[in-house]
Amino acid sequence: MTVYNKRKHTLLAYMFFLPFGILLVVFKLIPFVNSVRMVFYKWDVLGTPQFIGLANFTRMFSDRVFLTSLWHTFYFVILTVPPILILSFLIAVLANSKIYGKGFVRSAFYLPYTLTISVVCLTWALLYNPYFGMISKVTKFFGLKTINWLVDPLWAMPAVSITTVWWTMGFSIVLYIAGLQQIPSSYYEAAELDGASSFKKMIFITIPLLKRVHILVIVTQIIASLQIFGQVYIMTAGGPAGKTRTVMQYIYEQGFRYFRMGYAQSMAFIMFLIMLVFAYLQLRLMISSSKEELI
């Protein structure tokens, strides 16, 4: 290319990138800079923001409601990530085995993931109803005690977690199926020649070879679960007695009900720091997994 052409090429490149670049700066980077700035202010929605140094953070760590909501968020992560990891792996193995109607099975397990959170939670709220809900029918059938799921302090968070697992597991199943399809069948054939059982093949071939997928599912699921908001907002509104109030729910209450924007943003900043580690891991995994194969 001549010098003139090269310059033209560069100019064209920047022009192509410009719309995205401007929008990224305006709607992501500037808000991000502001989000960091806001944590040092008492920033109510009316009146001028007041610089208060680190007071938001000292307040936060003596705020029992914040600390319990942080624990509830971690509790939700613990209740959702392992079941999703194990169940989606098992279902993917089943959906990928030699069966008829593979397409139907896959669609069935992915379908809930395409639904909006409101539909999922409003439907499950009725399923959990202790008087007429289907779940109490099932527990009664098995002779178990009827639980008032969303109102019982002990069971509200597990109930929200079950709904979440049902709603989002399809995503991980798809990842696992993609991973399973990349395992060369020669591995299994060799194992069969050695007389390995199905169980042994699973333990010594399938599970170790899918290491990258396991990590990916864990990381993406932790990120998603840390941000839990809608399920709690819709199904329990943080109740009973604050037992399902997660950090995002508390941020919403502080920021958009009481308009304590500075304080709410300080909590959002702590969540950002926690998620940063996982977001970085996810990005690294994505870039490397698209270069190589999934497994």
Site for other proteins, residues 204 to 263, rule: CB under 8 A: 216, 220, 223-224, 227, 229-230, 233-234, 248, 251-252, 255-256, 261
156 or 219: whose CB is closer to other proteins? 219
Interface segment toward other proteins; rule CB under 8 A; list 55-63, 65-73, 184-192, 277-285: 277-285
Options 62, 185, 186, 290; binder of other proteins; rule CB under 8 A: 290
User: What's the min distance (Å) between Cβ of 64 and other proteins?
Assistant: 22
Measured in residues, the chain has a length of 295
d(CA 226, CA 275): 8
Interface segment toward other proteins; rule CB under 8 A; list 18-26, 55-63, 65-73, 200-208: 18-26
Options 54, 86, 99, 241; binder of other proteins; rule CB under 8 A: 99
The tokens describing 88, both together, are: 């989606």
User: What's the min distance (Å) between Cβ of 115 and other proteins?
Assistant: 5
Q: Total number of residues binding other proteins (CB under 8 A)?
A: 92
Per CB under 8 A, which of residues 114..153 are in contact with other proteins? 114-119, 121-124, 126-127, 131-134, 137
Per CB under 8 A, which of residues 36..95 are in contact with other proteins? 38, 91, 94-95
User: What's the min distance (Å) between Cβ of 67 and other proteins?
Assistant: 19
Per CB under 8 A, which of residues 145..204 are in contact with other proteins? 166, 171, 174-175, 178
Per CB under 8 A, which of residues 19..38 are in contact with other proteins? 19-21, 23-24, 27-32, 34-35, 38
Options 54, 144, 241, 283; binder of other proteins; rule CB under 8 A: 283
